[in-house]
């Protein structure tokens, strides 16, 4: 899955719910062996239909994968897509923004923050 703004928003929206975030974190902690849906529900104190709903949302967002073993459905994080989301979020990390041609006409907010930070450091 290639991450663009729409794909990233879909993934982040899926994680923007306390239960889904809990499910995803549990699966990350469990690792590549995954967990059956019933164990996930029991561990997090969710009713099984509620857990299934949240797992489906995470699956549709590309954050988890599932497979069936007998009567159980196992879930595991989609590490490739999780890495893609993290890469998208970090893509332009710390590069700053392009400065306007007429720098003197605008005062940089980051410039003010650095002056404040320097003054605070001197005061210590």
Ordered domains of the chain (ranges, CATH)? 1-124 (1.10.10.10)
24 near 82, Cβ under 8 Å? no
Do 76 and 27 form a contact (C-beta atoms < 8 A)? Answer: yes
Question: Does the pTM of the predicted model rise above 0.95?
Answer: no
Q: What is the Cα Rg of the chain in Å?
A: 21
Which residues of the chain fall below pLDDT 50? 105-113
Phi-psi region of 31 (alpha: psi -120 to 50; beta: other; left: phi over 0): left
Whole-number pLDDT of residue 75? 98
pLDDT given for residue 104 in this prediction: 52
Write out pLDDT tens, residues 64-77.
999 999 999 999 99
CB 75 within 8 A of CB 65: yes
**N-terminal to C-terminal alpha carbon distance within the chain:** 48
């Amino acid at each position: 899955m290639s991450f663009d703004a729409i794909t990233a928003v879909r993934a982040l929206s899926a994680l923007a719910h306390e239960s889904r975030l809990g499910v995803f974190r549990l699966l990350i902690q469990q690792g590549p062996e995954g967990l059956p849906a019933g164990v996930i529900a029991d561990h997090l104190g969710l009713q099984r239909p509620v857990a299934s709903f949240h797992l489906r949302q995470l699956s549709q967002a590309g954050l988890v994968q599932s497979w069936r073993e007998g009567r159980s459905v196992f879930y595991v994080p989609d590490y490739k897509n999780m890495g893609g989301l993290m890469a998208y979020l970090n893509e332009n990390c710390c590069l700053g923004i392009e400065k306007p041609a007429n720098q003197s006409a605008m005062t940089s907010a980051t410039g003010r923050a650095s002056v404040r930070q320097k003054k605070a450091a001197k005061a210590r």
